[in-house]
Amino acid sequence: MNNLTQMMSHRVKRMREDEKEEIKAWSQPLENMDNPSSKKRSFTLDPSGNYLDYLSDDLYVMDIIANFHTGFLEEGILVSDHHMIARRYLFSSRFRWDLLSVLPTDFFYFKLGIHNPCETRIPYRNAFRICKLMAYIFVVIHWNSCVYFALSSFIGFGKDDWVHPNTSDPDFGRLGRQYRYSFYFSTLIFTTVEDIPPPMQQEEWLFMVVDFFIAVLGFVNRSVKKKVIAWHQHLQIYKKLTKENQILQNLLEKPRVEVAGSVHFPILSKVQIFQNCEKSLLEELVLKLKPQVYSPGEYVCKKGDIGREMYIIKEGKLAVVADDGVTQFAVLGEGNYFGEISILNIRGNTSGNRRTANIQSIGYSDLFCLSKEDLRDALTEYPDAKAILEQKGQEILFKMNKLNEKLADELAIKEQELEMKVGRLESNFDSLQTKLARLMAELESSAVKMTQRIRQLEWEISLLENEAPGDTEADGK
Element (H, E) at 78: strand 77-79
Lowest pLDDT segment from 157-166, 237-246, 249-258, 406-415: 237-246
Work out whether strand 318-321 and strand 290-294 pair parallel, antiparallel, or are unpaired. Answer: unpaired
HSE at residue 86, side-chain half, CA atoms within 13 A, is 4
Question: Which residue, among 333, 338, 339, has the nearest Cα to 366 in the 3D structure?
Answer: 333
Q: What pTM value is reported for the model?
A: 0.43
Q: What does the alpha-carbon distance between residue 243 and residue 245 come to, in Å, rounded to a whole number? A: 5
Look at residue 189 in the predicted model and tell me its pLDDT: 86
206-259 pLDDT tens trace: 998 888 877 776 666 666 667 777 766 766 666 666 556 666 666 666 777 677
> Considering the chain, what is the average pLDDT of its residues?
76
pLDDT exceeds cutoff 60 at 475:
no
Of 273-277, 305-309, 370-374, which gets the smallest average pLDDT? 273-277
Going by pLDDT thresholds of 50, 70 and 90, the confidence category of residue 179 is: very high
Other C-beta atoms closer than 10 Å to the C-beta of 398 total: 13
- Identify which has the larger pLDDT, 352 or 84: 84
Q: What is the DSSP string of 344-369?
A: TT-TTBTTTTB--SEEEESS-EEEEE
Q: Average of pLDDT values for 86-98?
A: 87
Confidence of residue 20 (pLDDT cuts 50, 70, 90): very low
From 362, 359, 353, 364, select the one nearest 323 (Cα to Cα). 359
> How far is Cα of residue 179 from the mean position of the Cα atoms in its chain?
34
Backbone angles phi, psi at 35, to 5 degrees: -115, 90
Given a cut of 80, is residue 328 above it in pLDDT? yes
Q: Where do the domains of the chain lie, and which CATH numbers do they carry?
A: 119-217 (no CATH), 244-410 (2.60.120.10)
Q: What is the mean pLDDT of residues 95-122?
A: 70
d(CA 34, CA 163): 54
State the pLDDT confidence band at 43, using cuts at 50, 70 and 90: very low
For residue range 277-297, list pLDDT tens digits in order: 777 777 778 778 888 888 888
Count of alpha carbons within 13 angstroms of residue 386, beta-carbon side: 14
Which of the given ranges, 5-19, 44-58, 317-331, 396-410, has the highest pLDDT on average? 317-331
The more confidently predicted of residues 113 and 438 is: 438
